[in-house]
Structure 1
């Protein structure tokens, strides 16, 4: 296992406080814990991923949580507040891949939500697979239907292998990538269909839905929200510390303040209404509702074979809310409070259905979030959006002036930039020289901190800083570009004048909650030492008595095990 650097990148004040409070230097291995008796295995492992949840929001709003949701996890479980998605491209697909593989992108192969195929130079989506289609719903060419591009196994795959496929592994999400990348190669994924509001699987997993799914979808629970509005859950005083709505400019036709109504322009239950549901808490309510149906339909936690089952649930809406309004907004604040109450209800359900003493619960996130640039500027920070198209156009112009060749950059999906090596070779140029020329030009542009080249990565000539380590983990030799660009802190790749986005190697994007609760297996407490999301996979494998996933590089969190 590679030794990890734990030097911290630039942090916002709140994150710096929580990270340094329990920093313990090297991410060192601890003595192996004695495995529990097989009879003490959990009947059900529940893995919860809150899409786009920075740990600093958990810290900031913790006093307003109820007793049964996030507070239950913090009080009755192990809470690692200095946990990180420890790779350099912190986006949904990469983060979800890390949770149950324990691997980094250089091995698991998922380098982004979308990336450029190095051969065809066409954009591809992380879970698209034209060999399969959704069941009972229209399928576009770039919809996610299979885990073909995930190159390694997950905890669920290893659990099914160890039990002769008797263990059941089910993943549910509002996003296809959220479900598919948690389900692994041999589990079953169900995802929200924005065209119909149903949850559906694809023909990669089955040819038709089981009866319980058909019954659930026939009930049309998504239609109960038509005409309803998302309004604040708490009293006005609870939101006093949030950014004013005036700092969250809205796109044309989009509100930037409560209430948010759910309807369609046609006045009918149609695709525009079902798509609108994704922008607020009702999507997460539906996701957990379907998860309950899966528990009952598949008898999860009561497996007739007497083996553990695994349920993964990815709650997608927090990501959409943070993109639109920022983690400092009243909308994001309220949404997290609603997620907290939803989790409390879900845990109560698990207790009645399976018994929480028989359930191991994990909660984490796929990435964090930076503030909206306009808010960050109000904190006297250098924060802006970096227009990638303009950056690449200027780069090509610079390379043409130096080498006399047009469009030596022939594709890009930032942070990845692809050079036309065929043209470089044909022109008698040296690849490494062109890479270096391009890198130095990009580094001189406003908002750019670092640029790494293919030659540097392949030859190991990358400085041993934490950011360099995270970017090297994010670079996949076969799929990534020839240059990787890192923005300065608080900058991000984007255009327009609204919202914010993630994807950097900085702490506001990497620092996420990591909580594990299970009375028989976990020692409750606040754990300030450094941890990584990739540590979850070997820890779960240890508790389930199965081999770790093939490419897992995390450590077993032995200090939290009974």
Structure 2
């Protein structure tokens, strides 16, 4: 990647050039936060926070909005907006081309087999079943994180803990030297892996022995607010009901077997109860690890709340279910903030809240509004492309692997043909651009030559593409079209604003200047901003800027 792309983000926000180069005055002596709390709400579009803010209670999201800094134009500024990529970017300050997490899954460049972003066969979950491909370590994260720097600068006295409903949500926030705990689909427990320790500490064993996850069996999720509060949401009829996913309230949580089993624990994920459990475990971590309790040391707690993503995938962000879940999460956060105030003292916690990606509406919702939308089956797309390439070049399956949006060509077979690789790439790209739902296709030759053009889409896709890991063809679908082999729900992963625009809220009256900021910002700005406040060097791969406009003057 050319050095000029280091500054390419300025193409997205030219008016910020002057502000971005202003050096903050040296910080006066003031107490460092006892705890930095980084909250990631999986799959939360920024617009949902603004649309529903009038319905929030006191002390949760409203507290962050009223007492902290709100960046309304903040983005996960890369082209493949999925969970792993977003989480890897937040505390590394790096774009995917550098941190190496280019998707939730991708194709191994040597074996051409699929790999998962946090899989590592050398390690297993502690006291839990571990299957091939399960996420157990940050081995594929190629850069350090803010937490790693905090540990290093404190002589390893600082504690870095991350908790999530997903393994990738916890592992990629914890970095290389922190400790990750994740929800286990089959048992409902939270567990770590042998990458971090040989056995769980006593406080984790005590928490697991209580089995709070079992207390939700038979419980019902009903709307929190009056019916009139949901008047603007999509009608339930837009969401097809299936045996495992009914399409309207109330939702009851049980298993088909009638017992506490994997079916039940898996169903909990598409409910507010997963986030309740995650925050309960986070509270246990604060107590068990004495987070914020060492004089002169700042600890870091990362909490990735996964349920909103599962709910949006199933019903869409326009649904009553998504709306209600955010209201419930708001009240959960209020309780958690109140707990931290009591535990550590009001004003001693620096809070950041953001998301790993946003969400598009379901195609059915878009079509009902007379828009263009749909689903693209990547497997079928590759099959038709291979037929077209075989007709021209006489070789079957020149596309040998895919993990959408990345398609991989058989360059060895192409070389045997005596045809230039770029010619086959261009032929394939032209075919794909003509298919329904496809907006653009970028080729390896274009990436290698840095010839994607000065467009926002090109810039975001360039930031995502890693020379050693990414595909030879990278497909961008049209707005409101996405890769899926299913027929219901919605997904994310595009460079469009509905997927990139995420909340960015910072709160902590000693360090953050309250206000509503319309300046362009990115989630890669979080790590250097926190490093600035904590007087740490930024992570090695950081390309973000310090959000000086939101910092208190010394």
Which TM-score band (shorter chain)? over 0.9
1:428 has 2:433 as partner: no
2:174 equivalent among 179, 183, 201: 183
> Do the aligned partners of 2:146 and 2:527 also contact (CA within 8 Å) in 1?
yes
1:83 has 2:74 as partner: yes
Q: Deviations over 1:121-176 (max 9, x none)?
A: 10100000000000010001111000000000000001111111110000000000
Report the equivalent of 2:9.
4
1:52 equivalent among 43, 55, 65: 43
1:263 has 2:254 as partner: yes
CA gap of 1:5–1:378, structure 2 versus 1, over 3 A, is: farther
Superposition deviation, residue 496 in structure 1:
2.5
2:272 equivalent among 258, 281, 291: 281
Report the equivalent of 2:398.
408
Report the equivalent of 1:11.
none
2:155 equivalent among 157, 164, 170: 164
1:138 has 2:138 as partner: no
1:311 has 2:301 as partner: yes
Q: For 1:318 and 1:484, how far apart are their aligned partners in 2?
A: 28
Superposition deviation, residue 444 in structure 1:
1.0
> Do the aligned partners of 2:60 and 2:334 also contact (CA within 8 Å) in 1?
yes
1:508 has 2:513 as partner: no
Provide the secondary structure at the position in 1 that maps to 2:347.
helix
Equivalent residues in 2 for 1:323-472, closer than 5 Å: 323-472=313-462
Q: For 1:322 and 1:6, how far apart are their aligned partners in 2?
A: 31
Q: For 2:206 and 2:29, how far apart are their aligned partners in 1?
A: 36
Q: For 1:312 and 1:254, how far apart are their aligned partners in 2?
A: 30
Q: For 2:21 and 2:298, how far apart are their aligned partners in 1?
A: 26
1:321 has 2:326 as partner: no
Q: For 1:87 and 1:250, how far apart are their aligned partners in 2?
A: 34
Q: For 2:127 and 2:28, how far apart are their aligned partners in 1?
A: 44
Q: Deviations over 1:330-380 (max 9, x none)?
A: 000000000000000000001000123111000000000000001011122
Report the equivalent of 1:19.
none
TM-score, normalising length: structure 1 = 0.96
Superposition deviation, residue 253 in structure 1:
4.1
Superposition deviation, residue 59 in structure 1:
1.1
CA RMSD of aligned residues (A): 1.3
> Do the aligned partners of 1:90 and 1:509 also contact (CA within 8 Å) in 2?
yes
Provide the secondary structure at the position in 1 that maps to 2:20.
coil
Q: For 1:29 and 1:450, how far apart are their aligned partners in 2?
A: 32
Report the equivalent of 1:478.
468
Q: Deviations over 1:185-216 (max 9, x none)?
A: 00000001111111100000000000000011
TM-score, normalising length: structure 2 = 0.97
> Do the aligned partners of 1:79 and 1:525 also contact (CA within 8 Å) in 2?
yes
Provide the secondary structure at the position in 1 that maps to 2:312.
helix
Deviating beyond 4 angstroms after TM superposition, the runs of 4 or more aligned structure 1 residues are 5-8, 23-28
Q: For 1:165 and 1:185, how far apart are their aligned partners in 2?
A: 12
Q: Deviations over 1:379-417 (max 9, x none)?
A: 221111111111111110110111111100000011000
Superposition deviation, residue 312 in structure 1:
0.2
> Do the aligned partners of 1:24 and 1:530 also contact (CA within 8 Å) in 2?
no
Superposition deviation, residue 254 in structure 1:
2.2
Q: Deviations over 1:19-40 (max 9, x none)?
A: xxxx956595141223434542
CA gap of 1:448–1:222, structure 2 versus 1, over 3 A, is: same
Unpaired stretches in structure 1, ≥5 consecutive residues: 9-22
Q: How many residue pairs end up in the alignment?
A: 547
> Do the aligned partners of 2:8 and 2:459 also contact (CA within 8 Å) in 1?
no
> Do the aligned partners of 2:57 and 2:330 also contact (CA within 8 Å) in 1?
yes
Superposition deviation, residue 295 in structure 1:
0.4
Q: For 2:94 and 2:288, how far apart are their aligned partners in 1?
A: 31
Provide the secondary structure at the position in 2 that maps to 1:45.
strand
Superposition deviation, residue 272 in structure 1:
1.2
> Do the aligned partners of 1:107 and 1:152 also contact (CA within 8 Å) in 2?
yes
1:197 equivalent among 188, 191, 203: 188
Superposition deviation, residue 473 in structure 1:
0.2
1:107 equivalent among 98, 109, 112: 98
Q: Deviations over 1:217-267 (max 9, x none)?
A: 111111111110111101111001000001112334420101111111222
